[in-house]
Amino acid sequence: MNLAFTIGPIKQAKADTIYARKAKKPSYLKNGLPAGPLPQVKTTPYIVHSSTGTPPSDKLLTNVQVYPNTITDQINIKYTIARNSIVTIKIMDVLGNNVATLLSDRVDSGERLVSTNLLTTKLTSGFYFLRVMVGTESVIKRITVL
């Protein structure tokens, strides 16, 4: 019979049953120091720099756009590079094999547009990846060929 569910006054508690919590001892860390309340964290305000122009960037290759995304005969690739460098544009299949190299040349800085007729590369219908590499940076875009 369990004494916790009996009706009437409890005469004596069993040794394995605890009816009231004992007062806790002060908590100590491993090094023997008492664990008290944590100190307040000082927050430092951060400054947001607003400028009218574009912020300086470490990136060499930015703003890569491929259109139209469902490609039938011609592909247009627009990108911006920060300084003169060698640009390589490749089309790869799903396995990562190089199918065609559209451009591999040194290009001046600024915004560039590459238009290529895909009928000469004889790509079959499916999904491909377009990889634009400038220096050590590269951007990969997925394209669909009909």
- Asked, for residue 107, whether it belongs to a domain, the answer is yes
- Asked, for residue 117, whether it belongs to a domain, the answer is yes
- Asked, for residue 69, whether it belongs to a domain, the answer is yes
Q: How far apart are the first and last CA of the chain?
A: 80
Read off the tokens for 90. Answer: 């490749």
Cis bond upstream, residue 68 (ω within 30): yes
Q: Which domain holds residue 87?
A: 61-145
- Asked, for residue 131, whether it belongs to a domain, the answer is yes
The DSSP call for residue 119 is G
Give how many domains the chain has, as a whole number. 1
Summarize pLDDT for 71-116 with one digit per residue, the tens. Answer: 888 999 999 999 999 999 999 999 999 999 999 999 999 999 999 8
Give the span between the Cα atoms of 132 and 64, in whole angstroms: 8
CB 63 within 8 A of CB 139: no
Residue 3 CB contacts under 8 Å (≥ 6 apart), including other chains: 10, 13, 14, 17
- Asked, for residue 10, whether it belongs to a domain, the answer is no
- Asked, for residue 15, whether it belongs to a domain, the answer is no
Give the span between the Cα atoms of 94 and 48, in whole angstroms: 42
- Asked, for residue 11, whether it belongs to a domain, the answer is no
Summarize pLDDT for 105-145 with one digit per residue, the tens. Answer: 999 999 999 998 887 777 889 999 999 999 889 999 999 99
Q: What is the structure's pLDDT at 112?
A: 92
Nearest to 90 by CA among 111, 116, 126: 116
Q: What is the CATH number of the domain that holds 108?
A: 2.60.40.1930
